[in-house]
Amino acid sequence: MSAANAEWPHLFRSGSADAPVLLMLHGTGGDEQQISRLAAALDPTAAVLAPRGRVQENGMNRWFRRLSEGVFDTDDVARRADDLAGFLVWARDRYELGDRPMVAVGFSNGANIALALALLRPEVLARVIAFSGMHPLDGLPAGGEGTTAARVAAGDLAASALLLVNGESDPMAPLPSVQRLVTVLEQGGARVEQVLRPGGHGIAKTDVAAAVKWLA
């Protein structure tokens, strides 16, 4: 597993030892260089860990497969979230991060994989800033022990804190899905702060300001 994780394309900058690690997760068609530029606006002292999504869709990097826009292959979401969890465990060791707090900052598809990770592996990732994200495991059929639905329902999120920033009229991250996500997170015991602004998909200046405030 370690050898595979070492080959995972990613960028790392160490930052100040007393600053958090920002896990920067790009959207569909983005990459680690592009999303990591946002880190300086959030906390210029932070360490930056930015892996690249390893799913390809028409030449675009993504984090998991989708069947159509907004309809996700939930088995793949769960599998890729576990893969990313493995990478984060490897990276903590490789970059000697110890117990430095890690905050995922994801945009769009990157927000969705961060949210999946927070739902399924809260022991690996407990803090998330999600720009234009939605419920990544929405509409799963109820299932028995061991299914992804059961893992989501049983998640103990008491130590988790999330900031969800969304446009009120975003067709790619519809509000009903965002609201179902908030319900699931709060049922698991997570602290959720939600910022809704006019407009659609994207990261507005006010979104960045909200994230800076939340981080502080």
Residues that bind ligand MLT (CB under 6 A): 27-28, 66, 69-70, 108-109, 112, 172
Q: What is the DSSP letter of 147?
A: S
Q: What is the smallest separation between the CB atom of 85 and ligand MLT, expressed in angstroms? A: 18
> Nearest approach, Cβ of 138 to ligand MLT (angstroms)?
11
Q: How far is the CB of 41 from ligand MLT (least distance, A)?
A: 21
Cβ 113 vs Cβ 84: under 8 Å: yes
Expressed in angstroms, the distance from the first to the final Cα of the chain is 35
Cα-flanking dihedrals φ and ψ of residue 119, to 5°? -75, -40
User: 153 vs 172, which CB is nearer to ligand MLT?
Assistant: 172
Q: For the chain, how many residues are written? A: 216
Q: One-letter amino acid identity for 79? A: R
The smaller minimum CB distance to ligand MLT, of residues 45 and 169, is found at: 169
Query: Which CB atom, from 28 or from 166, has the smaller least distance to ligand MLT?
Result: 28
Q: By C-beta, is 53 or 188 nearer to ligand MLT?
A: 53
Taking the C-alpha atoms of residue 167 and residue 60, their distance in angstroms, rounded to an integer, is 24
In the complex, the smallest distance separating the C-beta of residue 60 from ligand MLT, rounded to whole angstroms, is 9
C-alpha–C-alpha distance, residues 114 and 27, integer Å? 11
